[in-house]
Amino acid sequence: MALALLGLGLAAVFQVVTMQGRAQAQARLHLEALRQAQNLMDQWLEAPQVRAGSFKGAGPSGMAWRVTVRQVAGEAPKAARPATPGSPQQPAASSARPTSRRRPALYEVAVCCSYQLMGRDKRVCLVSQRVGEGEI
């Protein structure tokens, strides 16, 4: 009887130690992903210019990252529409609105860093906004 209780006690201790090791590994990886995401976010928010798009790479530790930038407010670039039959003619180039002007636009910056833990994909994402210039 005492031997059976000892065996159960050792199994429980082994399980607790194993769970603690997994939790420490998960916390370490999550913290590393969070630090990398914060560093990337700082770089993108402090960059002199921003443009919409999706960008990806890997950090020094090999952890994969993806940055997605999209314009959420402000005027998007205006494209010239071709004249359709029966519609008024497009204005001459000299009287057309200049396309080189820029106005402030609001961009959303999303940074995600991913890692694997025990065969499962995990991800840390940060989202922020910044003002940039949008063409009009």
86 domain-assigned = no
CA pair distance 1, 4, nearest whole angstrom = 5
51 domain-assigned = yes
67 domain-assigned = yes
46 domain-assigned = yes
pLDDT at 87: 44
Tokens 């359709």, located at residue:
84
Three-class SS state of 123: strand
pLDDT digits (tens, 9 = 90+) for 33-75: 999 999 999 998 988 888 889 999 998 888 999 999 999 987 6
- Rounded mean pLDDT, 106-114: 94
Judged against a pLDDT cut of 50, whether residue 134 lies above it is answered with: yes
Question: Strand runs (DSSP E) across the chain, as ranges?
Answer: 53-58, 64-73, 102-117, 120-135
- Rounded mean pLDDT, 25-32: 86
Judged against a pLDDT cut of 70, whether residue 16 lies above it is answered with: no
38 domain-assigned = yes
Q: Which domain holds residue 71?
A: 2-80+96-135
88 domain-assigned = no
Which position has the higher pLDDT, 95 or 19? 19
55 domain-assigned = yes
CB atoms within 10 A of CB 29: 18
Looking at the 3D structure of the chain, how many domains does it have? 1
pLDDT at 120: 85
Starting at the edge strand found earlier in the chain, the sheet holding 102-117 runs 53-58, 64-73, 102-117, 120-135
Three-class SS state of 49: coil
85 domain-assigned = no
pLDDT at 38: 94
pLDDT digits (tens, 9 = 90+) for 70-104: 999 876 555 444 444 544 444 444 444 545 566 78
